[in-house]
Chain A
Amino acid sequence: MTASLPELVTGALVLAGAFFFLAGTAGLLRFPDVYCRLHALTKADNLGLGLISLGLALQAPNWTSRVQILLIWLLALAAAATICHLLARSSLREGVPAVGVDTEVNP
């Protein structure tokens, strides 16, 4: 079995992307509070998705597919930023305690 150069590049990018998803999940499970977990998900997962998208775009059959993949990534970025902000804001409002910060939870 032989793989062409573009296939090797795609393979490397997709593997790197999968690694960042693994890291994101590790952060989600290991980080101490909801705010830190949000960091893990938004950053690691979006870089992971970016790398996988880039890798797959190299294999895409035509330009519209490539642009479509790019659009999906941009949309996912916007979604992640929005979700992150919303969850953090409502967590603060509901007084979910943060590690290392003296946020007062209602007495």
Chain B
Amino acid sequence: MDDFLLVVAAFLILNVGAGLIRVARGPSPADRMLAAQLFGTTGVAILLVLAQATHTPALRDVALVFALLAVVVSVAFVKRGWVRTATSMEEENGGGEER
């Protein structure tokens, strides 16, 4: 059972890795911020699976914090990060968002 769960955890980590392609590609800042969502849910799932596989219940507390932090990060991004990124992009590319 534990080995099986470790394989699942590895698979989920690969999933996050694949999702990072979207972060790298963008094109809009919000596309990149989808990573917070991805890390939020997939990260929580990975931690829950690992907590069971390695018999480390403390990892469940980490999962809880992960879920909370995902929201905080997104709020911070929407309130502060976006404006700066969008304007600096316009300055760099003359308003174009595609690269």
Mostly, the A contact residues are helix
Contact of B48 among A25, A29, A45, A53 (CB under 8 A): A53
Q: How many residues of B contact A (CB 8 A)?
A: 43
Contact in complex: B18, A48 (CB < 8 Å): no
Residue in B closest to A91 when the chains form the complex, CB atoms: B30
A28 to B30, CA, bound (A): 12
A46 to B57, alpha carbons, bound, how many Å?
A: 22
Contact of A37 among B4, B8, B31, B78 (CB under 8 A): B31
Interface residues on A, range: 35 or more
Task: Using known A-B contacts A45-B41, A72-B67, A75-B64, determine if residue A65 contacts B57 with beta carbons closer than 8 Å.
Answer: yes
**Chain B residues with a Cβ under 8 A of chain A:** 1, 4-5, 8, 11-12, 15, 18-19, 21-22, 28-31, 33-34, 36-38, 40-42, 44-45, 48-49, 51-52, 57, 60, 63-64, 67-68, 70-71, 74-75, 78, 82, 86, 97
